[in-house]
Structure 1
Amino acid sequence: MACSSGSNAKMSSPNVSTPVMAVTPDAVDQKTSPAVFEIFGKIWNVQARLGQGVSASVYRVSSGRASSAVKEFQVDAQGGDYGYLKESSVLEKIQGHKNIVTLYGMFTNHNPFGVATHCLLLELLDDVKYIQTDGYRAPEAELQNSLAQAGLESDSGCTTAVDLWSLGIILLEMFSGIKLKETVKSQEWKDNSSAIVDHIFSSNAVVYPAIPVFHLRDLIKSMLHNDPKLRSTAEAALINPFFSIPFAPHIEDLVLLPTPVLRLLNVIDDNHLYNEDEYEDIIEDMKEECQKYGTVVSLLIPKENPGKGQVFVEYANAGDSKEAQRLLTGRTFDGKFVVTTFYPLSAYKRGYLYQTVQ
């Protein structure tokens, strides 16, 4: 391939380029931009570093009136060049596509430290200033894009936190079933995005009864902090309970499979939950009644969803729970007919409460 400077010299193949020297990452300060690149005997001056990644840096370079971009792949401790070979190979195969950057050629750069690095000479795309896709763009990326358009530089660059923001929006769209591009641009979102997320979840909780929605809601909120320093990391997101709990079982499964935990439905009105005296009286009444059928280990009545107003009774064994289920089903409590199902002990022990699929 011919160099973009107009030279007739051909670029060297990666198979015959000078081998990369094996050095430790600390041997060279790879954050320092080179002043020039010598490409087949011609000097290209480095005008600016356009981007810095884990495996490579990209520079704007010029030689006379010609301007291009150079992507310099970093040297690792083993002298590996997989990324360079892979990228150059792919770009060579798809040359000529209108939506793919043009690869002018490949060369080996020898820096003043005696280290050889593989480089790609690429088409310079001066319209390339936007970070992230519109509608999934984190606030700090939006700011950096605005500054770039004005020819200014941001004091603090974007980090991997922008990816967590994008993932948060994607998860919210998957749950709501609607595109949120205009929503995230609105002033209401900027003023109180958390309230909008709450509204979306309260509107769709019944539609997705098998999903532990409060865990998903909290996960998404943690990804959508405006301050990237407060935003959830990928490591923290992966240990969120949403990814470790099973989806809700079908109601028939809970009826037919005895477990030590019994769930009582259609027992308590919501208004009883907010009067502390009445709430404590109900707890004591339920314990007294349930202890007639076996040893009660614990009893829980959540005051909010999931499980709001339901009674979870943990017996010492499944036999006691099964006997209680037989004798309590159909009984009346405060004028209501009691409905009972079993509940997974593992989920109850870990505090996972969810609605069941009807």
Structure 2
Amino acid sequence: MTQPPHPSRCASHLLPRGEKDGIDRRALLAAPLAVGTLAGCDRLAVAEPTPPTVPPLKSIAPFPIGTAVMAGHFDDPAWVALARAQVNQLTPEWEMKMEYILQSLDRLTFDAPDRIAAACEREGVRLHGHALIWYSQGEQAFSGFDRTHFGRAFDRYIAEVAGRYRGKLVSWDVVNEPIAEDGNGLRDSHWSRNLGDDGYMIRAFEQAKLADPEAVLFVNDYNLENNPVKGTTFLRTVERLLKAGAPIGGLGTQSHLDIEIPAGQISRFMRDLGSFGLPVHMSELDASLRRERGGDFRSRAQRLEQQRARVVELAEAFMALPERQRFAFTIWGLRDSDSWLRRDNRDDGKDQPLLFDDAGRAKPLTAAVAEVFGRG
């Protein structure tokens, strides 16, 4: 999430660009959804080319295509129509996170995640749970306990939430964003301080496995492609947890891409990630055109070409994985106007981080990704 804060960060995981640059993901996710609105036109911009004709992504990709969802999206017919056409997996963007569900240790709220789960069942699409344990949430509710009572409350929360959706979802992000922002070691959090740096993660996976033995259990993080130091720390952490017996079933890389990273960096990380032999989830893809640091003198055409090159490299690296390891390819929003990157006050309405424009039309980027998927 100097990359954009990721959505987990998303109001949860917006760490990449967000955390570093002061974006409050919680505020962004809590803000009204920008549904179906067209951004103001740049009077100096030339007319946009005719949108390309692209087959539905889910019809050509040899793996599930996902997107992030908020319960309010189901009230937008245009979003529903686009989602039905393009995707066959949904990830709750915020409303299955602890910050939403956990009102207190004695009161859990499930209205929105239940609505999302019911919609997935009704529409016959997969549901990916996001997220059980995240460093950014739960500290206040879990404060004041000794280690024993803290652990019991930790176990109970996972049992109640993961158990509620047992058989209704295919997978969970069990531990979200455990690696430090700069990549040097693990994050310090209320979880690690009470249960140990690796201990809280091992325990979370064990409890999730007990609550839903059939779900694929993921560890998920961001900036892994963007920051080689962080990517390496993530890989070493996974290796260590697996050796300790943690029942990790899959690896999630959020892929909030910095479009200015060198060519080849994404592919190298993906090869290393795939070396574990576990399912890989491209879990929160977007690619902002904005530069969060320094002046930006790139033309729009240059930025779009950088974006295309990096997203295509990601798609090709994912396609290069063995078929059994390609768990899903999830875009963090459908239309540009749905993106968390368009929810802060600095946004000028012109960022185009996703595969469909504000009106839900495919873009040249969409066609480029579809071409890669069509090869398989």
| Same fold (TM > 0.5) | no
Instruction: Specify which structure has the bigger relative contact order, considering alpha-carbon pairs within 8 angstroms and separated by 6 or more residues.
Output: 2
Which of the two has greater helix per residue? 2
**TM-score w.r.t. structure 2 length?**
0.18
Instruction: State the structure with more CA Rg.
Output: 1
- In terms of fraction of residues, the more strand-rich structure is 1
Q: TM-score, normalising length from structure 1?
A: 0.19
